[in-house]
Homo-oligomer: A and B are copies of this chain.
């Protein structure tokens, strides 16, 4: 099992960041990560969305620098990279989350 890759935020474009957030399932995952800062993929699952789809969505979030994934036994714990993301895109995540409610 190779190490999970987490990008440097300076390599993430604004368009890529917005694209990552521009999906209902991913928005839901992100809000859940705010509420519960350590979430595995199953818990992140929204209703009936299949796990392969969730896996892809988490890849997108990770590639956008929004989520960090740590392997813990047989599960992957996901965490928002709030500080890194906010340093790169000040206010963006907070504004999006405020508008999501």
Q: Which A residues are closer than 8 A to B by beta carbons?
A: 13-16, 18-19, 21-24, 27, 89-92, 95-96, 98-100
Number of copies: 2
Cα separation A95 to B18 with both chains bound (whole Å): 12
B18 touches A22 (CB 8 A): yes
Interface of A is mostly: helix
- Given A19-B22, A22-B19, A22-B22, verify A14-B90 contact (CB < 8 Å): no
Cα separation A92 to B16 with both chains bound (whole Å): 16
A24 touches B13 (CB 8 A): yes
Residues of chain B contacted by A100 (CB below 8 angstroms) = 14
A24 touches B15 (CB 8 A): yes
